[in-house]
């Protein structure tokens, strides 16, 4: 038996808990009402201090083909409506969404009725539930995303949850990652019927098929009493569509194909069956369950299930009152295995009769013993696949947190290395040579102390590079970079150690080989730490002016900028081209203004102002050069202009 660190399997328990609340039933009732009475719109209902907003699954498709699969960046839509989702660097893939679904959301968003509803929510509600069925579901999700991103900085804003039914996928991998990084994964719950084709539809290129289905939705969804929508489809059409989608979902679940899928699930998925429900939030496991449950259905059930959410919600809502158990003697050995078995029961796999036409049709012929045996074997295989999915979800969900604990231990172990560098800086600042921290390390000799500090610098760099590698390969929680402990630790490391990296870069002459540090030598980790710190919310105490000099210079690239300014000053002495001289003096003047501001605002450490520091010596050289130019002006009158040579 597989050893588990956690003693409980929670996917079935979580689904049962959600079903025990009125959220599911109230949301579906309002969705049904929106489908029947508010085509291309939404309806709202206030239940005490909770406001439900349901978007109709009947939307206009004239002139727009959702099957085109066109992606558009979310952050550039509608004059920055989602500007908070702007990517931080060119190397990052932008958050992209389906152009058609975004267009439908924007059409609704700009209506007077929607704006009025948002105003009422902010005034009267403590919580808001955005919900929608079918193609109304992406509108609900985008509304929740907008609400979360727009009002997240307001402490008194209502809490938000989004519950969708039969929602098609509409965003890329970057959207899923961004939602996890913002810690909003728990705000989204997608209810999926076991065989519903719509949540699987956009795994395949389905332009004609999707348009055909949308026309069917228009006919069916306004009628809450519709029982057999599939009768309006020809059997060969449904069979062809089912096989086509099934093949693409299978390829995606196995990560096959030359091109990775455009669309990626996000949030929590609640898979509903006649026996209960299970909840998973790992995107890989979601895709695998979308495949396993879908192939156990049939062409007809894949259409019918899209209209059966009322039945599923009713059964699931009552399921928590019933008791699930095991036959005597079948009780699993651990609570974890018991949880897996309960989740397997809720997935309805053990008792599922396979309806796939390519296997058997019990309706047309009496099954033989061999046929029953083959069905039993297939069901055991599928049950094993589902068990593997559930265990994978547990394992993949737990591993990042375990790794995070390991990183915390590793961070505590490298703290003495950082402390030794702090002691080294203090001793340099107090040294009689008055060179300061940066210059002492840059001009160090073959001393034991200098060697040890350099090794500490290398070991700290390795720790942070390993951490970033784990984060980029999803081995750490997606919100790891927002945790104050690591944001502050990385910022302190950057301010303390990057000056040493700059000193070593220029000491070894790498600037002559690769170019100056900022553009050609700066390590990726420092750019990442800049983003982490830039995204940190600044408190009042951090925005106040300093009364004393900082313990560490607040621009970790200060010395790299000085090294460039030193080169400019050397070139000025020999440059004869007037245009180039003007540019050099402009650059020097900009650096002088930058450095003066840093000193005046006390954003530098005292080592910058040490008598024999590179900065102090450079200032003296600049004064001498300007005095020399005033006493012995060159033959270029423009150089005497105070704007160029102050």
Provide DSSP, 118-149. HHHHHHH-SEEEEEEEGGGHHHHHHHHHHHHH
Read off the pLDDT of residues 292-347 as tens digits, 9 standing for 90 and up. Answer: 888 888 888 888 898 899 999 888 877 655 545 544 445 455 544 545 455 555 55
Residue 300 structure tokens: 């007809």
Question: What integer pLDDT is reported at residue 642 of this predicted model?
Answer: 44
Q: What 3 state SS string does 61-87 have?
A: CCCCCHHHCCEEECCCCCCCCCHHHCC
pTM for the whole thing?
0.70
Mean pLDDT of the chain: 79
Which candidate in 133, 195, 209, 306 is catalytic? 306
Sign of CA dihedral 327, 333, 339, 344: negative
Which candidate in 196, 305, 439, 607 is catalytic? 196
Find out whether 243 and 280 touch, Cβ atoms under 8 Å: no
| Average pLDDT score over residue span 558-586 | 90
Q: Give yes or no: 134 in active site.
A: yes
Q: Is the pLDDT of residue 386 over 70?
A: no
Alpha carbon distance 322, 338 (integer Å): 17
Read off the pLDDT of residues 452-472 as tens digits, 9 standing for 90 and up. Answer: 999 999 999 999 999 999 988
Which candidate in 134, 174, 302, 556 is catalytic? 134
Alpha carbon distance 63, 41 (integer Å): 18
Q: What is the C-alpha R_g of the chain?
A: 32
Alpha carbon distance 532, 486 (integer Å): 9
Find out whether 66 and 104 touch, Cβ atoms under 8 Å: no
Q: Give yes or no: 530 in active site.
A: no
User: What b-and-e string marks burial along 325-335, b requiring 16 or more CB atoms within 10 Å of the CB?
Assistant: eeeeeeeeeee
Q: Is the pLDDT of residue 540 over 60?
A: no
Task: Provide the terminal-to-terminal Cα distance of the chain, rounded to the nearest Å.
Answer: 79
Sign of CA dihedral 61, 62, 67, 69: negative
Question: What integer pLDDT is reported at residue 302 of this predicted model?
Answer: 86
Q: Is the pLDDT of residue 643 over 50?
A: no
Closest CA to 140 of 231, 54, 220, 243: 54
Question: What integer pLDDT is reported at residue 18 of this predicted model?
Answer: 79
Strand order in the sheet with 50-55: 42-47, 50-55, 127-133, 159-165, 188-193, 268-273, 276-280
Residue 474 structure tokens: 């999803």
Q: What percent of the chain has pLDDT over 90?
A: 38
| Average pLDDT score over residue span 174-187 | 88
Residue 488 structure tokens: 């502050």
Closest CA to 285 of 407, 140, 385: 385
Q: Give yes or no: 110 in active site.
A: no
């Amino acid at each position: 038996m597989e050893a588990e660190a956690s003693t409980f399997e929670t996917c079935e328990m979580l689904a049962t808990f959600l079903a025990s609340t009125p959220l599911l039933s109230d949301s579906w009732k309002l969705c049904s009402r929106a489908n029947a009475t508010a085509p291309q719109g939404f309806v709202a209902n206030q239940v005490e201090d909770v406001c439900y907003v349901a978007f109709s699954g009947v939307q206009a498709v004239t002139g727009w083909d959702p099957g085109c699969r066109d992606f558009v960046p979310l952050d550039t839509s509608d004059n920055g409506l989602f500007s908070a989702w702007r990517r931080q660097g060119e190397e990052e893939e932008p958050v992209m969404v389906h152009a058609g679904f975004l267009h439908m959301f924007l059409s609704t968003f700009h209506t007077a009725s929607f704006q009025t509803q948002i105003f009422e929510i902010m005034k009267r509600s403590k919580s808001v539930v955005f919900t929608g069925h079918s193609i109304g579901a992406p509108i609900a999700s985008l509304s929740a995303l907008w609400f979360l991103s727009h009002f997240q900085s307001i402490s008194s804003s209502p809490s938000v949850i989004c519950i969708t039914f039969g929602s098609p996928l509409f965003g890329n991998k970057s959207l899923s990652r961004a939602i996890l990084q913002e810690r909003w994964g728990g705000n989204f719950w997608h209810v999926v019927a076991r065989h519903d084709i719509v949540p699987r539809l956009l795994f395949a290129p389905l332009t004609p098929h999707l348009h055909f289905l949308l026309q069917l939705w228009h006919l069916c969804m306004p009628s809450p009493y519709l029982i057999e929508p599939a009768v309006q489809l020809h059997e060969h059409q449904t069979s062809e569509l089912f096989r086509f989608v099934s093949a693409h979902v299978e390829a995606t679940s196995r990560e096959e194909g030359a091109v990775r899928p455009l669309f990626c699930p996000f949030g929590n998925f609640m898979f509903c069956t006649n026996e209960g429900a299970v909840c998973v939030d790992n995107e890989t496991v979601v895709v695998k369950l979308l495949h396993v449950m879908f192939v156990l259905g049939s062409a007809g059930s894949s259409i019918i299930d899209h209209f059966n959410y009322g039945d599923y919600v009713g059964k699931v809502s009552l399921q928590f009152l019933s008791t699930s158990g095991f036959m005597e003697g079948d009780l699993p050995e651990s609570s974890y295995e018991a949880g897996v078995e309960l989740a397997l029961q809720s997935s309805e796999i053990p008792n599922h009769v396979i309806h796939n036409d390519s296997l058997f049709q019990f309706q047309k012929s009496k099954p033989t013993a061999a046929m029953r045996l083959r069905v039993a074997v297939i069901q055991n295989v599928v049950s094993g696949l589902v068990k593997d999915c559930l265990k994978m979800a547990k394992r993949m969900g737990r591993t990042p947190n375990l790794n995070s604990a390991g990183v915390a231990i590793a961070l505590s172990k490298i703290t003495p290395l950082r402390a030794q560098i702090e002691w080294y800086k203090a001793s340099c600042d107090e040294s009689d040579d008055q060179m300061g921290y940066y210059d002492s390390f840059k001009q160090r000799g073959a001393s034991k102390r200098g060697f040890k500090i350099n090794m500490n610098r290398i070991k700290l760099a390795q720790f942070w590079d390993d951490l970033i590698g784990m984060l980029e390969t999803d081995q750490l929680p997606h919100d790891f970079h927002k945790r104050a402990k690591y944001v502050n630790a990385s910022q302190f490391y950057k301010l303390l150690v990057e000056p040493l990296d700059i000193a070593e870069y220029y000491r070894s002459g790498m600037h002559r080989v690769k170019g100056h540090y900022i553009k050609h030598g700066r390590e990726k980790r420092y750019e990442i730490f800049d983003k982490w710190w830039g995204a940190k919310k600044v408190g009042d105490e951090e925005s106040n002016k300093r009364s004393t000099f900082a313990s560490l210079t607040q621009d970790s690239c200060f010395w790299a900028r000085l090294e460039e300014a030193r080169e400019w000053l050397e070139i000025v002495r020999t440059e004869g081209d007037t245009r180039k001289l003007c540019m050099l003096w402009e650059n020097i003047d900009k650096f002088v203004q930058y450095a003066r501001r840093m000193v005046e605002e006390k954003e530098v450490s005292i080592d910058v102002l040490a008598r024999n520091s590179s900065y102090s010596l450079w200032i003296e050289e600049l004064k001498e050069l300007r005095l020399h130019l005033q006493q012995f002006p060159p033959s270029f009158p423009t150089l005497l202009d105070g704007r160029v040579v102050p």
